[in-house]
């Protein structure tokens, strides 16, 4: 028997996405000041969008609505991954890249599994 969650905060995928946001905020504090309204703002916004869309989709009643928000989260996650690559290539980060990219990959796998679970549970 599967235990049902009562709040989006209980979802492991949301917890990992939120951890990614916190890491990106912490790391981006050290970015060049001239990037405040550029890459700093963009990577923060895209990472927040991942966790926000997971939480928003959680309460949606219909399969299509839930899956649409998860798909938006997946798109925002890919956007975040691109910014991480750019930040690495601009040499704003070095050693932190591997940890952040690994966490983003974990979120990606969890998002995919969550989407599949929703598709399968609603079809039964």
Instruction: Check residue 4 and give its pLDDT.
Output: 78
CATH code for the domain defined by 11-123 = 1.20.1440.60
Q: How far is CA 48 from CA 20, 23, 94, 96, 120, in A?
A: 9, 11, 22, 19, 27
Instruction: Check residue 95 and give its pLDDT.
Output: 86
- 1: pLDDT strictly greater than 50: no
Cα–Cα distance measured from residue 12 to residue 25, given in angstroms and rounded to the nearest whole number: 20
Mean pLDDT of the chain: 93
Q: pLDDT tens-digit profile of 25-52?
A: 999 999 999 999 999 999 999 999 999 9
Contact of 42 with 83, CB cutoff 8 Å: yes
Contact of 20 with 104, CB cutoff 8 Å: yes
């Amino acid at each position: 028997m599967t235990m049902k969650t009562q709040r989006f905060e209980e979802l492991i995928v949301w917890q990992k996405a939120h951890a990614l946001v916190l890491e990106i905020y912490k790391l981006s504090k050290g970015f060049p000041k001239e990037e405040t309204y550029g890459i700093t703002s963009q990577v923060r916004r895209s990472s927040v969008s991942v966790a926000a869309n997971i939480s928003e989709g959680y309460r949606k009643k219909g399969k299509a609505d839930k899956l649409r928000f998860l798909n938006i989260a997946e798109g925002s996650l890919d956007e975040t991954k691109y910014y991480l690559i750019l930040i690495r290539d601009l040499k704003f980060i070095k050693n932190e890249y591997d940890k952040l990219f690994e966490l983003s990959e974990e979120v990606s796998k969890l998002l995919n599994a969550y989407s599949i679970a929703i598709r399968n549970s609603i079809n039964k």
